[in-house]
Structure 1
Amino acid sequence: MTTIKEHMRPVFPFTAIVGQEEMKLALILNMIDPKIGGVMIMGDRGTGKSTTIRAIADLLPQIQIIQDDLFNSHPTDTDLMSDSVQNSIRNGEKLPVSFINVPMIDLPLGATEDRVCGTIDIEKALNEGVKTFEPGLLAKANRGILYVDEVNLLDDHLVDILLDSAASGWNTVEREGISVRHPARFVLVGSGNPEEGELRPQLLDRFGMHAEIRTVKDPAMRVQIVEQRSQFDEDPHSCLQEYNDKQKILKSKISKGRELLDEVNIDFSLRMKISQVCGQLDVDGLRGDIVTNRAAKAFAAYNDRMHVTVEDIKSVIILCLRHRLRKDPLETIDSGERVKQIVSEVFG
Structure 2
Amino acid sequence: MFEFNIIIVTILKDKVRPVFPFTAIVGQEEMKLALLLNVIDPKIGGVMIMGDRGTGKSTTIRAIADLLPKIEVVQDDLFNSHPSDYDLMSDSVKSQIESSNHLPTRFIDVPMVDLPLGATEDRVCGTIDIEKALSEGVKTFEPGLLAKANRGILYVDEVNLLDDHLVDILLDAAASGWNTVEREGISVRHPARFVLVGSGNPEEGELRPQLLDRFGMHAEIRTVKEPSLRVQIVEQRSKFDSDPYICLEEFRDKQDELKLSIIAAQKRLPDVKIDYDLRVKISEVCGTLDVDGLRGDIVTNRAAKAFAAYKNKTKVEINDIKTVITLCLRHRLRKDPLETIDSGYKVQQVVNSILN
Specify the TM-score bucket, using the shorter chain as the normaliser.
Answer: over 0.9
**What is the Cα deviation at residue 277 of structure 1?**
0.2
Q: Is 1:193 paired with 2:181? A: no
Q: How far apart, CA to CA, are the structure 2 residues paired with 1:289 and 1:76?
A: 32
Offset from partner CA, 1:281-326 (integer Å, 9 cap, x none): 0000000000000000000000001111110000000000000000
Q: How far apart, CA to CA, are the structure 1 residues paired with 2:14 and 2:327?
A: 33
Aligned partner of 2:232 among 224, 231, 234? 224
Aligned in 2, Cα 1:243/1:203: closer, same or farther, shift over 3 Å?
A: same
Counterpart residue number, 1:326: 334
Q: How many residues matched?
A: 345
Counterpart residue number, 2:298: 290
Aligned partner of 2:246 among 238, 243, 252? 238
Offset from partner CA, 1:246-286 (integer Å, 9 cap, x none): 10111111110000000010010000000000000000000
- TM normalised by structure 2 equals 0.94
Which segments of 5 or more consecutive residues in structure 1 lack a partner in the other structure? none
Counterpart residue number, 2:270: 262
* Equivalent AA in structure 2 for residue 318 of structure 1: T
Deviates more, 1:171-180 or 1:272-281: 171-180
- TM normalised by structure 1 equals 0.96
Q: How far apart, CA to CA, are the structure 2 residues paired with 1:298 and 1:318?
A: 15
Secondary structure of the corresponding residue to residue 195 of structure 2: strand
Counterpart residue number, 1:280: 288
Q: How far apart, CA to CA, are the structure 2 residues paired with 1:127 and 1:231?
A: 58
Counterpart residue number, 1:171: 179
Aligned partner of 1:253 among 256, 261, 278? 261
Report 1:118-133 matches (<5 A).
Answer: 118-121=126-129, 130-133=138-141
* Equivalent AA in structure 1 for residue 30 of structure 2: E
* Equivalent AA in structure 2 for residue 155 of structure 1: D
Q: How far apart, CA to CA, are the structure 2 residues paired with 1:62 and 1:265?
A: 28
Q: Is 1:88 paired with 2:96? A: yes
* Equivalent AA in structure 1 for residue 276 of structure 2: F
**What is the Cα deviation at residue 115 of structure 1?**
0.2
Counterpart residue number, 2:222: 214
Counterpart residue number, 2:168: 160
Offset from partner CA, 1:74-116 (integer Å, 9 cap, x none): 1111111001111111223521111111100000000000000
Counterpart residue number, 2:62: 54
* Equivalent AA in structure 2 for residue 46 of structure 1: G
* Equivalent AA in structure 2 for residue 91 of structure 1: S
Report 1:33-112 matches (<5 A).
Answer: 33-92=41-100, 94-112=102-120
Secondary structure of the corresponding residue to residue 87 of structure 2: helix
**What is the Cα deviation at residue 175 of structure 1?**
1.8
Secondary structure of the corresponding residue to residue 58 of structure 1: helix
**What is the Cα deviation at residue 136 of structure 1?**
0.3
Aligned in 2, Cα 1:161/1:307: closer, same or farther, shift over 3 Å?
A: same
Aligned in 2, Cα 1:174/1:346: closer, same or farther, shift over 3 Å?
A: same
Q: How far apart, CA to CA, are the structure 1 residues paired with 2:284 and 2:76?
A: 49
**What is the Cα deviation at residue 124 of structure 1?**
5.9
Secondary structure of the corresponding residue to residue 19 of structure 1: coil
* Equivalent AA in structure 1 for residue 254 of structure 2: K
Which segments of 5 or more consecutive residues in structure 2 lack a partner in the other structure? 1-12
**What is the Cα deviation at residue 130 of structure 1?**
4.4
Secondary structure of the corresponding residue to residue 105 of structure 1: strand
Counterpart residue number, 2:158: 150
Secondary structure of the corresponding residue to residue 72 of structure 1: coil
Deviates more, 1:129-138 or 1:21-30: 129-138
